[in-house]
């Protein structure tokens, strides 16, 4: 077995398992005893994972914030609406459906909801994806007008993001 060395800027995690199957005779008695008393997957695979300690945020890792404007769809609007508890407060999907049917882009609708909720991490994410800061709801309220409506303590933070 050869062990790879990680560059100094990375840390490594090594995962090993015992192969049970065609090469069963190649395993040691100790590994067979271990395998007999555990429920871990045993397929003989060995994995080494490297993590760059200088890229700790989700955007640089390509997890969050790597989406573009057109990567958001109507399902994302509904998920966000439910996640933030808007359905529980309003008791109906009417406002959400009306915004969708008006032809507004899903990412802009999420911006309106996030602004009203004071959800600054979500606002940062969708602005990076290309949300329109000047979007208005059906009553003519902009994201700035709605800033912190449901969470007044976040109003100033939301307004700062929407400059």
Question: pLDDT tens digits for 26-62?
Answer: 555 555 655 555 555 556 666 666 656 665 555 565 5
CA angle in degrees (0–180, nearest 5) for 155-78-112: 25
Average pLDDT, integer, range 1-26:
47
How far apart are the C-alpha atoms of 86 and 150, rounded to whole Å? Answer: 10
Each residue's pLDDT tens digit, 86-104: 877 877 889 999 999 999 9
**Closest to 163 in 3D by CA, of 148, 144, 149, 138:** 144
pLDDT for residue 74? 94
């Amino acid at each position: 077995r050869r062990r790879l060395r990680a560059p100094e800027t990375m840390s490594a995690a090594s995962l090993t398992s015992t192969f049970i199957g065609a090469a069963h005779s190649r395993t040691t008695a100790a590994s067979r005893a271990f395998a007999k008393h555990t429920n871990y997957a045993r397929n003989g695979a060995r994995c080494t994972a490297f993590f760059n300690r200088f890229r700790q945020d989700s955007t640089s890792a390509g997890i969050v914030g790597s989406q573009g404007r057109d990567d958001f769809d109507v399902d994302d609007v509904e998920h966000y609406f439910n996640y933030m508890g808007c359905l529980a407060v309003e008791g109906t999907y009417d406002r959400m459906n009306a915004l969708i049917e008006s032809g507004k882009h899903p990412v802009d609708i999420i911006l309106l909801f996030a602004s009203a909720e004071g959800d600054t991490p979500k606002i940062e994410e969708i602005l990076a994806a290309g949300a329109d800061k000047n979007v208005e709801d059906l009553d003519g309220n902009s994201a700035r007008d709605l800033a912190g409506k449901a969470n007044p303590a976040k109003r100033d933070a939301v307004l700062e993001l929407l400059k």
